[in-house]
Amino acid sequence: MVAPPEVTFAQLLFSGIAFMLLAAGSLVVFLITYQKRLLHQQLRLRLAEAEHQQQLLTAIIEAQEGERERIGRDLHDGIGSTISTAKLLLNRLESLPAHAEDAQGLLKLIREIMSGAVQDVRSISHSLYPAVLARFGLAEALQHLVDVANETGKLPILLEVDYARPLALAQELALYRICQELVHNALKHAHGATRLVVSLLQQGPLLTLTVEDNGCGFEAANAAGSAPPTRGAGLRSIDVRVQMLQGHLRQHSVLGQGTRMVVELDTTMA
């Protein structure tokens, strides 16, 4: 028996409505599931970002404490010892006749010691905040850093600069601190080195700071971005500043052939 057309149409209508309701329900379930996954992913990203910020904060605090410890050690071992020596000489000078030959010699020695103390104070003051950077910019500040380091006679340092488009003072200060720490590390750890080369080169938007020595090197993976076996407060401080600049730190070292540290910065992002 053939169903009337009205019955067939009603069946088709109900089937279409049921299919649409089923599709709509499936779409709602999909949207709810997708939204939950999206919220979960955003939560994980926020947690990861918060953890990263906490790690940065910890590294910054460690770096600051390391710098304070170094300054305190310089004050105690350098200026403190110098002033103590000058005080002992003054006490000895008071016990001598005014026109004694030894008195004149002691007075000359005290003047030399105090001149050294003044120089130490200037050096520590410059390490706290390089005034030449604020006045003349990064290139002149690096030249002053190299000149002061060369005066110590520990290791000849060569400087190469091609820096035509200066950055903001905050970025320049961060780059200066990075270079200062890299030079300090090289002078301290590059045993057997005969030269140290510092270069600041600008090619288009790419700014590259390189500190390279031909010293002892270290045993570590030579791949770009690899880390030495131990990372002290100095390297953590460098890492933090590089991340703040949104740059990249690469290091390459071969045992007995030296170490090359490279900081690359996209100036359009700085």
131-189 pLDDT per residue, tens: 788 888 999 999 989 998 888 778 899 999 999 889 998 899 989 999 999 998 898 88
Six-digit token string for 254: 């071969």
Percent of residues, the chain, with pLDDT higher than 70 = 82
Is pLDDT above 50 for 21? yes
Alpha-carbon torsion (228, 127, 210, 169), positive or negative: positive
Q: Write the CB contacts of 139 (distance below 8 Å, at least 6 apart in sequence).
A: 161, 163, 200
Measured CA to CA, the distance from residue 182 to residue 239 in angstroms comes to 11
Residues 6 or more apart in contact with residue 4 via CB below 8 angstroms: none
Q: Tell me the average pLDDT across 115-134.
A: 75
CB 266 within 8 A of CB 259: no
Can you read off the two tokens belonging to residue 192?
């057997």
Of 13-17, 158-162, 206-210, the range with the lowest mean pLDDT is 13-17
- Phi and psi at 248, nearest 5°, equal -135, 140
**Interval 197-201 mean pLDDT:** 96
142/70 Cα distance (integer angstroms): 21
At 75 the pLDDT is 75
| pLDDT bracket for residue 128 (50, 70, 90) | low
